[in-house]
């Protein structure tokens, strides 16, 4: 492997080479690490000429009398509060001994390591072999405080990806309070002022809308204060060059591997310089760092694409499949499932569930999932969370019997849990009312008639692990859907002293990761699927433990066009669980063809959310064909390269193609949203194919060269109804 990180000692410059991109850091003569370049590849060389010295009005000077250098205009790698930079800092530390918040971090040392270190207590990307990556650890120090701040940069040989995180080490004698600890901060020059800010925002059942706005002077940001990454915002954003699209233009993507409160900000200052930051939200965050203690921030993933949003997404998808997802299910084909939720809700018994499983098995499905309602006295959503004991009124012979019945149909058996929650009406709450997240003396706000268990506490995690593990060991369970259906209020922990209460939200996330680590290691054969009211915690932190997430509680195919399009900007198709559900759709009341529902759901980890024994003969025949087709192309759809062809955000259509890595095969899908009268002849032009190879449309005699398909396209059948879809399977000949 060629060297990925080069240090030029004479100019104190670091060149981090990641595939076809370069990130350059220079240590200023005063010890400040400066950002010099991030973008297309440049060879290691002197960059001294890029350090601009300029007198800036109202820009305080670090060296008295030297008016040509101010941190307020310097492109910094780790900006701090209070020492002449008026922009948003990446680090802020309160010093109780004198009430100061001033930091002065200067370069002390560095080391370059092969491979990539794990982050204590946090999910992070990893290397399969040490030669896959190199890591720069830049050690900065505030000598007065004895505080070391280690900025970690890892670059990967095969991907234009850089990962960043920050580690605090208190080597002083006094305790400190970390109030702001961002994972990444990048300063761009004024030539980036015409870029746009792309965010993924929404709400429950309407997650990850793509919103793009020009950078304006001031601060643009997205964040979560809900205790989770949230339906409302996603810990991802991109800076896109003016005019950039799927195929053209420079794009810089930022994604945080974290499942709690986050902030992502872009600040364009009065001189049009641009600062992009991402990390733990400093809102209601304060971490007491005692003498000798350390604190590690989550990891940020930074990706550069000179070829638009499409290339950015494909690089992230490939990188996450190789270096984030792990465990037995990392590369396995996911089973096609049927979930009983919309078929029965809370009203079921063993016979009804067995009938649904049999109907699924008869059309070739591989997994039956029992959703909410199987435990305690759970006849609605107001009771029993935390009491993970089988409801013998519904299932008199228990889960083991039901699992055997399902297995007898030739299907695997899966189960729903909501491990992090507790109902006020539950035996667990009556026994341990202080185990929920709360503030003594304050009202305990309910959400969905439930509270959140304080999993920052080891004894709470141990009880959850004990009770759920008992179920997982007794019944033949191959899949778990891990749900989380309310956000944090009255954020406090009975186990923490007053001065540490603002650590609660982050300690909760660390407790969540600890539990997920336990369950995925204790039960490695189980496929775990993340969920939070659908897509309310669709983030890279969860994906480290669970290779797929229920993308949204909204299973309407037309709504899913936008939801899945937005999600795909950052996350691989293999991570997006998508199901065919009944019509009228239970979330929006829309009626769409069964065929279209299948075509849209096949884009992700595929399944059904219905009683297939109750569908028409026509729909059942269509389902059989869908399952047969999906099994033929499942590996391609899960691991191929995605090209988004038409956006449902900007047109009456949505189209995409998934292409095999060797370009030997592809599946293209097109959906017309509303049917228009007197339509002209329309085509969908494809991407990602080999222009010199010929491709046959499977099931026909049609053969086309790749260049023709990518220049002229495939003709679209004239829609005969709203929500009309087509799918093409192409194979090289």
pLDDT attached to residue 269: 94
Task: Residue 260: count other Cβ atoms within 10 Å of its Cβ.
Answer: 29
**Is 197 strand, coil or helix?**
strand
115 CB-side CA count, 13 A: 7
Band of residue 69 on the pLDDT scale cut at 50, 70, 90 = confident
| Digit-coded pLDDT (tens) for 87-104 | 999 999 999 999 999 999
Cα 174 from Cα 292, distance rounded (Å) = 9
pLDDT attached to residue 2: 63
Quickly count helices (H) and strands (E) in the chain: 12, 38
| Digit-coded pLDDT (tens) for 589-601 | 999 999 999 999 9
| DSSP states of 504-535 | HHHHHHHHHHHHHHHHHHHSTTSEEEE-BTTB
| Digit-coded pLDDT (tens) for 467-492 | 999 999 999 999 999 999 999 999 99
Q: Does position 1 have pLDDT exceeding 50, yes or no?
A: no
| Digit-coded pLDDT (tens) for 507-549 | 999 999 999 999 999 999 999 999 999 999 999 999 999 999 9
- Residue 124 near residue 163, CB atoms below 8 Å: yes
pLDDT attached to residue 55: 81
| DSSP states of 611-676 | -GGGS-HHHHHHHHHHHHHHHHHHHHHHHSEEEEEE-TTTSSEEEEEEE-TTSSEEEEEEEESS--
pLDDT attached to residue 624: 98
Q: Does position 418 have pLDDT exceeding 80, yes or no?
A: yes
| Digit-coded pLDDT (tens) for 143-186 | 999 999 999 999 999 999 999 999 999 999 999 999 999 999 99
pTM: 0.97
Please compute the mean of the pLDDT values over residues 372-387 and round it to a whole number.
97
Domains and CATH numbers, the chain: 77-318 (2.70.98.60), 337-421+458-485+525-639 (3.20.20.70), 653-732 (2.60.40.1180)
Give the residue ranges of DSSP H helices in 63-187. none
Q: Does position 678 have pLDDT exceeding 80, yes or no?
A: no
Q: How far apart are the first and last CA of the chain?
A: 36
The gap from C-alpha 304 to its chain's centroid, in whole angstroms, comes to 17
The gap from C-alpha 663 to its chain's centroid, in whole angstroms, comes to 27
- Residues designated catalytic: 483, 553
pLDDT more than 90, % of the chain: 93
pLDDT attached to residue 150: 98
- What are 463's two structure tokens? 């009880």
Q: Does position 452 have pLDDT exceeding 60, yes or no?
A: yes
Q: Does position 49 have pLDDT exceeding 70, yes or no?
A: yes
pLDDT more than 70, % of the chain: 100
Cα 588 from Cα 558, distance rounded (Å) = 10
Q: Does position 354 have pLDDT exceeding 80, yes or no?
A: yes
The gap from C-alpha 681 to its chain's centroid, in whole angstroms, comes to 39
Handedness of CA 234, 239, 244, 249 (dihedral sign): negative
Handedness of CA 421, 423, 427, 432 (dihedral sign): positive
| Digit-coded pLDDT (tens) for 616-656 | 999 999 999 999 999 999 999 999 999 999 999 999 999 99
Per the prediction, the chain carries an average pLDDT of 96
Q: What is the 3-state secondary structure (H, E, C) of 217-243?
A: EEEEEEECCCCCCCCCEEEEEEEECCC
| Digit-coded pLDDT (tens) for 276-324 | 999 999 999 999 999 999 999 999 999 999 999 999 999 999 999 999 9
pLDDT attached to residue 636: 97
Task: Residue 461: count other Cβ atoms within 10 Å of its Cβ.
Answer: 20
Q: Does position 252 have pLDDT exceeding 60, yes or no?
A: yes
């Amino acid at each position: 492997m060629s060297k990925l990180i080069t240090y030029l000692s004479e100019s104190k410059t670091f060149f981090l080479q990641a595939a076809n991109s370069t990130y350059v850091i220079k240590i200023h003569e005063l010890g400040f690490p400066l950002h010099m370049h991030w973008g297309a590849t440049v060879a290691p060389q002197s960059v001294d000429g890029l350090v601009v010295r300029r007198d800036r009005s109202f820009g305080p000077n670090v060296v008295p009398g030297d008016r040509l250098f101010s941190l307020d205009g310097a492109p910094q790698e780790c900006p701090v509060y209070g020492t002449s930079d008026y922009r948003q800092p990446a680090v802020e530390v309160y010093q109780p001994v004198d009430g100061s918040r001033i930091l002065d971090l200067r370069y002390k040392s560095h080391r370059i390591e092969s491979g990539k270190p794990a982050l204590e207590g946090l999910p992070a990307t990893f290397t399969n072999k040490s030669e896959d990556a190199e890591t720069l650890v830049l050690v900065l120090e505030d000598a007065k405080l004895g505080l070391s701040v280690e900025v970690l940069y890892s670059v990967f040989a095969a991907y234009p990806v850089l990962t960043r995180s920050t580690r605090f080490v208190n080597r002083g004698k006094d305790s400190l309070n970390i109030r702001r600890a961002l994972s990444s901060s990048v300063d761009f020059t004024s030539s980036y002022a015409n870029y746009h800010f792309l965010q993924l925002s929404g709400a429950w059942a309407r997650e990850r809308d793509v919103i793009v706005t020009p950078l304006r002077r001031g601060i643009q940001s997205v964040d979560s204060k809900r205790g989770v990454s949230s339906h409302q915002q996603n810990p991802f954003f991109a800076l896109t060059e003016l005019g950039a699209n799927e195929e053209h233009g420079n794009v810089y993507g930022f994604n945080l591997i974290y499942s709690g409160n986050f902030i992502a900000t872009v600040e364009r200052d009065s001189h049009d310089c641009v600062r992009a930051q991402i990390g733990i939200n400093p809102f209601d965050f304060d971490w007491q760092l005692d003498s000798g203690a350390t604190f590690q921030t989550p990891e940020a993933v930074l990706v550069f694409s000179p070829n638009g949003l499409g290339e950015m997404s494909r690089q992230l998808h490939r990188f996450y499949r190789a270096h984030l997802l792990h465990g037995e299910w990392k590369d396995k084909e996911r089973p096609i499932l049927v979930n009983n939720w919309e078929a029965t809700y809370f009203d079921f018994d063993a016979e009804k569930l067995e009938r649904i499983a049999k109907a699924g098995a008869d059309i070739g499905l591989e997994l039956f999932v029992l959703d909410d309602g199987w435990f305690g006295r759970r006849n609605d959503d107001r009771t029993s969370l935390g009491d993970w004991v089988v409801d013998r009124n519904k299932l008199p012979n228990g889960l083991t019997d039901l699992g055997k019945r399902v297995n007898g149909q030739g299907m695997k058996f899966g189960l729903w849990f909501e491990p992090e929650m507790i109902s006020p009406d539950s035996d667990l709450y009556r026994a341990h009312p202080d185990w929920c997240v709360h503030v003594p003396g304050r009202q305990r706000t309910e959400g969905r008639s439930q509270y959140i268990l304080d999993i920052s506490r080891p004894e709470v995690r141990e009880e959850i692990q004990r009770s759920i593990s008992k179920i997982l060991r007794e019944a033949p369970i191959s899949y778990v859907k891990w749900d989380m259906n309310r956000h944090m209020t009255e954020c406090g922990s009975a186990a923490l002293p007053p001065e540490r209460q603002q650590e609660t939200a982050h300690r909760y996330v660390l407790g969540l990761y600890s539990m997920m680590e336990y369950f995925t290691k204790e039960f490695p054969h189980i496929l775990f699927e993340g969920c939070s009211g659908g897509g309310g915690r669709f983030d890279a932190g969860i994906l480290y433990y669970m290779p797929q997430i229920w993308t949204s509680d909204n299973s309407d195919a037309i709504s899913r066009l936008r939801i899945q399009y937005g999600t795909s900007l950052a996350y691989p198709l293999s991570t997006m669980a998508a199901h065919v559900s009944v019509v009228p759709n239970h979330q929006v009341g829309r009626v769409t063809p069964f065929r279209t529902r299948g075509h849209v759901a096949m884009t992700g980890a595929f399944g059904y959310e219905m009683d297939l024994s109750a569908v028409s003969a026509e729909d059942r025949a269509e389902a059989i064909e869908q399952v047969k087709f999906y099994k033929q192309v499942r590996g391609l759809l899960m691991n191929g390269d995605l090209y988004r062809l038409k956006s449902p955000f900007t047109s009456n259509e949505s189209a995409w193609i998934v292409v095999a890595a060797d370009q030997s095969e592809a599946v293209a899908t097109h959906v017309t949203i509303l049917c228009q009268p007197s339509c002209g002849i329309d085509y969908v032009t494809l991407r990602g194919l080999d222009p010199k190879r010929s491709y046959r449309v499977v099931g026909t005699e049609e053969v086309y060269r790749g260049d023709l398909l990518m220049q002229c396209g495939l003709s679209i059948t004239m829609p005969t109804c709203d929500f009309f879809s087509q799918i093409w399977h192409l194979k090289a000949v």
